[in-house]
Structure 1
Amino acid sequence: MGDQIDETKQVESLDPSQKLAQRQAARAARGSMLQRLDEWMTQHPWHPRVFPFVVYVALLWASEPARMWAPWAFPVVYILQCVVTAWLLWRYRKLTPELNWKFHWLAIPAGIVGLVGWIWLGDLMARLWFSDAGTDVLAEMGPALGWTTLSLRLLGMALVVPMFEELFFRSALLRSLYEPKPALASAIDLLSDLPVIGGWVGDTRLGKWADQYDRPMQAQFEKVPVGRISWFSLTASCVLWCLLSHHPRDWPGTFVCGFAWGWLVWMTNRGEKKLGIGPVVWAHAITNALLWGYVVSYGDWRFL
């Protein structure tokens, strides 16, 4: 305690020029951290397409403990989730030119198909295996805080989530997983880098086979344009989407959305059409907004 008081007195005793120097040093430190992030983002095409997803999911894990600690903490964490993720998408938008909000009318039926598949198959899965009723936000938080939280969820679901998820799954993964062999080689390389088992994996026949590929997923990503898809990339990206983002109850609906929206990316980037992932961002936004409306209207909190 005495040391803290002494440090406080030392800070207070600094003259204005010393205080200014300290503030400038602090700003320089913050600037250097941001500069390192900027440099890291440019080192690999996956970085600006994956990092927003990672940040959002990491903060999502923090939201439930916050909710259990105090209901008002959940919307605070959710705002932080959305703001930080949106800031990353905006700051590195020049590195992700395919991300846009260009509209195509096919986004409407694709969004409706996603909604119907999500609810119908999710309800079927709930009847068979997963009977969780979800959390009634209004009953748990009360009308004022509950509707505030629901309004924030609508904004996040319809605006932020479609951008970073489509950037990751319908751009990075669909392109990087176009051919199965390079994708398998990349997975083996990843295992080879792990502690304990990495050396053993690298010495196997599969490990030596994977060594013949140089940066396989990055090479595929750079070679495959937006909109070019394969059955393998569609299936593999849907599997990863299920495992990384969704409750097992929602896995069949995830496949419906993944295939419908993969088809939409292909349809809207054929020939001279080069709409990027804008239409699929719209489809995702439509599905999520309609799903929010369904949950609020019918009180089916399983899907929120």
Structure 2
Amino acid sequence: MTEHNDPRTAPSASPAFSVDAPLFSRAAWARILPFGAYIFFIILGDMLERTGIARADLRWLYPVQIGAVALLLAYNWRGYHELRGPLPSVRQMLVSLAVGVLVLVLWINLDAPWMTVGSSPGYDPRRNGELDWVLIVIRIAGAALVVPVMEELFWRSFVMRWVDSADFEALEPARVGIKGFLVSVVLFGFEHNLWLAGIVAGVAYSLLYMRHRNLWSAVLAHAVTNGLLGVWVVATGSWAFW
């Protein structure tokens, strides 16, 4: 005898995504907010400059910007599970160092007009024609120690995996699909004035994360690129690259 379920009592199929579920989880916000704070200060600086404040007088914004990002990273540190595992092996670290240097070389050479979008006023740390070493140290330290952690948590750990899975923390880096890879790389590229160099860097850092399955590999490569770029900028006076 065939049984017929009463449609009034039969359980309904659960939707793939609940309309009441938030778009971003708490883990996602922990990676979004430091990046959002960083972008906020960039926009704030542009708005203040449009009001007539000289760009040279806005250099103090960078220490505040980096400080705000560092505080947000510290506040959420316990939730960054991808940074609490073992460090990369010595071999992986050497590969990351090499990738960081390679990205730097490409970055300062991929600057043809068609490889850029908009213009970058850069960051000039000189005061009355003399180098302000306090600003220089803060700039390089921020770019090499804070920015790589913030950006790799946002672009690689979060965006690249979230595009493929809302439960991004459960997705192994090696299992990221082509969609997540391309979306994160292209957006990361166009976050920068040198969009092509940005895309190349995004590809390099993403592949490190996916292959080593360790976000520290990408952070280390990114830190090497940014740190050496800072040294090169100061040595050559190429402030537009900052």
TM-score interval, normalised by the smaller of the two chains: 0.7 to 0.9
Q: Does 1:283 align with 2:229?
A: no
CA distance in 2, matches of 1:54, 1:108: 28
Gaps of 5+ in 2: 1-21
Q: Does 1:118 align with 2:107?
A: yes
Q: What is the identity, as a one-letter code, of the residue corresponding to 1:98?
A: E
1:96 Cα deviation after fit: 1.2
Which of 31, 52, 58 pairs up with 2:40? Answer: 58
1:145 Cα deviation after fit: 6.6
**Alignment correspondent of 1:45:** 27
1:230 Cα deviation after fit: 2.7
**Alignment correspondent of 1:176:** 162
Gaps of 5+ in 1: 1-39, 179-216, 270-275
**Alignment correspondent of 1:18:** none
**Alignment correspondent of 1:78:** 62
1:254 Cα deviation after fit: 1.0
CA distance in 2, matches of 1:264, 1:119: 21
CA distance in 2, matches of 1:133, 1:88: 27
* Contact kept in structure 1, 2:59 and 2:125, CA below 8 Å: no
1:94 Cα deviation after fit: 1.2
What aligned pairs does 1:103-252 form with structure 2 within 5 A after superposition? 103=88, 104-122=93-111, 124-125=112-113, 134=121, 137-138=124-125, 141-143=127-129, 146-178=132-164, 217-219=165-167, 221-243=168-190, 245-247=191-193, 250-252=194-196
Query: TM-score scaled to structure 1, two decimals?
Result: 0.62
1:135 Cα deviation after fit: 5.0
CA distance in 2, matches of 1:279, 1:121: 24
The number of residues matched between the two structures is 213
CA distance in 2, matches of 1:175, 1:132: 31
Larger Rg: 1
1:143 Cα deviation after fit: 4.6
Which of 88, 94, 102 pairs up with 2:78? Answer: 94
State the identity as a percent. 28
Query: TM-score scaled to structure 2, two decimals?
Result: 0.76
Q: For residues 75-121 of structure 1, what are the alpha-carbon distances to aligned partners after superposition, in whole Å with 9 as ceiling and x for unaligned?
A: 43211111111111111111111136935221111101211221111
Q: Could you say what the CA RMSD is over the residues aligned between the two structures, in angstroms?
A: 2.8
Q: What is the identity, as a one-letter code, of the residue corresponding to 1:137?
A: D
CA distance in 2, matches of 1:50, 1:292: 25
